[in-house]
Amino acid sequence: MTVLAALVAGFVAAALLQRTMRGTLAHPVLARENYRGHALPTAAGFVLVAAVVAVDGGRAVLGLLGAGDAATAPARLLVLAAVVAFGFLGLLDDLLGDAYDRGLSGHLRAAVRGRVTTGFVKLGGGTAVALVLAGTWVGDRPLRVVVDGAVIALAANVGNLLDRAPGRTTKWGLLGGAAVLAVAGSSAAGVALAVVLGAAAALLAPDLREELMLGDTGANALGAAIGVATVIEAPPAARSAVAAALFALTLLSEVVSFSRIIDAVPPLRWFDRLGRRSDP
């Protein structure tokens, strides 16, 4: 499968699922208020996860029929595993989380007091999954596993931190993903990532129209997929720099909101509001 075909397949699969699952998305359990007080379905990012699974399943069937690769590349499996695992952890937080404990420090304080939040489960589970994925790829190199695991886990977390305005996570995710895709090309990781980016692109318009919210489900899955592809395709020095940058952004989010920074910088504010409905 080519990168273009993967992008199209991901886009079409997510667009079809989003249209045909409107009844599911309208279920009251998913209803949350957005930043303007409008009730929208959250966790709509499960459409992205389902689309990626559907496309990969289709690729496997075509491979068995001799119309594609019969063997599944390890890189493709790692991207798929990241999307499913981080999507599940995000869905748990979307459905069962509350607004009382926010940020890394909030979840850690709650855990110290003996109360484990869904956010803490997502934090611990995401860290564990990231280390497994990194260890699977880089092998028995402890420091490298830790750094590459940080790239995956922190990329997922930053995707979640950006999800505070319509389309914001998807816009930045598509930009970051495109940069990784430029390096990966038509490799197994590049094609796998292209499916994810195509699915995310299909949800951008309804997100901007405030018809749905990706939630942690979609934001974490998108960020983790980009993180895994980065670990697979980027050289070690670049991965270390990415880990440091993502860690700095995570620490910054504990003291100032990304929304405030974006609103204070004209180019960022323009990009953030591009395609969005006008604020009242």
User: Average of pLDDT values for 100-107?
Assistant: 59
Query: Can you read off the two tokens belonging to residue 24?
Result: 């599911």
* Widest Cα–Cα separation across the chain: 57
Confidence class for position 29, pLDDT limits 50, 70, 90: confident
SS3 101: coil
Query: Can you read off the two tokens belonging to residue 99?
Result: 């607004």
Give the per-residue pLDDT at 236.
94
pLDDT over 90 (residue 159): yes
pLDDT over 70 (residue 180): yes
| Residue ranges making up the domain that contains 42 | 3-273
Q: Is residue 279 part of a domain?
A: no
- How many Å apart are CA 44 and CA 193, to the nearest integer? 19
Mean of the per-residue pLDDT values for the chain?
89
How large is the angle between the packed helices 236-253 and 142-162, nearest 10 degrees?
Answer: 40
Q: Is residue 147 part of a domain?
A: yes
Residue type, position 144, single letter:
R
Give the per-residue pLDDT at 45.
92
Q: Is residue 278 part of a domain?
A: no
User: Average of pLDDT values for 110-138?
Assistant: 84
- Cβ pair 269, 194 in contact under 8 A: no
Give the per-residue pLDDT at 102.
61
> Distance between terminal CA atoms of the chain?
45
Percent of the chain with pLDDT strictly greater than 90: 65
pLDDT over 70 (residue 142): yes
Task: Please state the φ and ψ torsions of residue 115, each to the nearest 5 degrees.
Answer: -120, 110
Give the per-residue pLDDT at 189.
94
Q: Is residue 280 part of a domain?
A: no
Torsion sign (Cα): 156, 162, 166, 172:
negative
Q: Is residue 155 part of a domain?
A: yes
Q: Is residue 132 part of a domain?
A: yes
pLDDT over 60 (residue 263): yes
Residue type, position 64, single letter:
L
SS3 33: strand
pLDDT over 80 (residue 1): yes
Q: Is residue 216 part of a domain?
A: yes
- How many Å apart are CA 193 and CA 234, to the nearest integer? 14
Q: Is residue 27 part of a domain?
A: yes
Cα 36–249–74 angle (5° rounding)?
100
Give the per-residue pLDDT at 111.
62
- Cβ pair 47, 18 in contact under 8 A: yes
User: Average of pLDDT values for 84-96?
Assistant: 92
Q: How many domains does the chain have?
A: 1
Sequence-ordered alpha helix ranges (H) in the chain:
3-20, 22-25, 46-64, 74-96, 103-112, 118-138, 142-162, 168-184, 188-208, 215-233, 236-253, 258-264, 266-273
Torsion sign (Cα): 39, 226, 189, 119:
negative
